A = this chain, B = another copy of it.
Amino acid sequence: MNTMPDRLSDTLQALADPTRRAILARLAMGRATVAELAAPFAMSGPAISKHLKVLERAGLIERGREAQWRPCRLKAAPLREVADWLDTYRRFWEASFDRLDTYLEDLQTATREAKNVRTKNKRRTGGE
């Protein structure tokens, strides 16, 4: 993973941890202190600090500074980037009946191809 051009990987990596997703869910309800964010988890303060650092580095949160407090706030832009990327695959889960037709068609093709193979017709079957 290289640094600048791969925000998507950083975001997805940050989201891949359940603790960090839970932190985002809490921040979706409004900003919160580190202690508040830590409360639901049986883990140490530094562990929470590390999670927040990952989220901050990915641009998913920003950490404020008010006296000794470090209130955190959700930033949604990286989530949008993930959603936009996912949208390039939307046709695959929305055209589910189309996929079934294609599957059956491939099944018939595979049956015919199996016959051809038996007649010594060497062919690479991996391609579309």
The docked-state distance in angstroms from the alpha carbon of A124 to that of B90 is: 44
- Whose C-beta in chain B lies nearest to the C-beta of A110? B66
Q: Inside 8 A of A69's CB, which chain B residues have their CB?
A: 124-126
Check A126 against B66 for contact (C-beta < 8 Å): yes
With both beta carbons as reference points, the residue of chain B lying nearest to A126 in the complex is identified as B33
Sample of 10 further A-B pairs with CB below 8 A, known A1-B18, A13-B16, A24-B89: A6-B18, A9-B17, A28-B89, A32-B127, A32-B128, A76-B99, A77-B93, A80-B93, A83-B86, A83-B87
Could you tell me which residues of chain A, from 41 to 81, have a CB within 8 Å of some CB in chain B?
66-67, 69-71, 74, 76-77, 79-80
Give A contacts to B, CB under 8 Å.
1, 6, 8-9, 12-13, 15-18, 21, 24-25, 28-36, 66-67, 69-71, 74, 76-77, 79-80, 82-83, 86-90, 92-93, 99, 110, 117, 124-128
Between A29, A35, A77, A128, the greatest number of chain B beta carbons within 10 A of the residue's beta carbon is seen for A128
